[in-house]
Structure 1
Amino acid sequence: MSTQQDILSAFQFRHACKQFDAEKKIPAEDFDFILETGRLSPCSFGFEPWHFVVIQTPELRAKLREVTWGAQGTLPSSSHFMVILCRKDDMRFDSAYIDNFMRTVQKLPADVVEKKRAKYQKFQESDFRLLESPRALFDWSCKQAYIALGNMMSAAAMIGIDSCPIEGYDFRDAEAVLTAAGVLDQDKYGLAVMVAFGYRVNPQPAKTRQTMAEVVTWVK
Structure 2
Amino acid sequence: MTFFNKDDILNAFHYRASTRSYDGNKKISDDDFYAILEMGRLSPSSVGSEPWQFLVLQNAHLRQKLKPYCWGIPTMETSSHIVAILAKKNARYDTPYFGQIMDRRGLTGEAREKALVVYKKFQTEDIAILDSDRSLYDWASKQTYIALANMMTGAAMMGIDSCPIEGFDYKEVNQILADEGLFDPAEWAVSVMCTFGYRDKDIKPKARKAFDEVVKFME
Q: Which runs of 4+ in 1 moved over 2 A?
A: none
State the Cα deviation string for residues 77-112 of structure 1 (Å, max 9, x = none). Answer: 0101000001111x1000011113212x22123221
Q: 2:184 is paired with a residue of what secondary structure? A: coil
State the Cα deviation string for residues 30-57 of structure 1 (Å, max 9, x = none). Answer: 0011111111100011121000010000
- The residue type equivalent to 1:64 in the other structure is L
Superposed, which structure 2 residues align to 1:115-134 within 5 Å?
115-134=114-133
- The residue type equivalent to 2:51 in the other structure is P
Q: Is the 8 A contact 2:162 2:194 kept in 1?
A: yes
State the Cα deviation string for residues 125-162 of structure 1 (Å, max 9, x = none). Answer: 11111000000000000000000000000000001000
Q: Which residue of 2 aligns with 1:96?
A: 96
The reply to whether residue 66 of structure 1 matches residue 68 of structure 2 is yes
Aligned residues: 217
Q: Which residue of 2 aligns with 1:27?
A: 29
Question: d(CA) in 2 for partners of 1:188 and 1:95?
Answer: 12
Q: Is the 8 A contact 2:51 2:144 kept in 1?
A: yes
Question: d(CA) in 1 for partners of 2:75 and 2:106?
Answer: 41
- Using the TM superposition, give the Cα deviation of residue 73 of structure 1 relative to its aligned residue in structure 2, in angstroms: 2.1
Question: d(CA) in 1 for partners of 2:95 and 2:107?
Answer: 16
Question: d(CA) in 2 for partners of 1:149 and 1:100?
Answer: 23
Superposed, which structure 2 residues align to 1:65-214 within 5 Å?
65-69=67-71, 72-89=73-90, 91-103=91-103, 105-214=104-213
- Using the TM superposition, give the Cα deviation of residue 184 of structure 1 relative to its aligned residue in structure 2, in angstroms: 2.6
CA RMSD in angstroms, aligned pairs only: 0.9
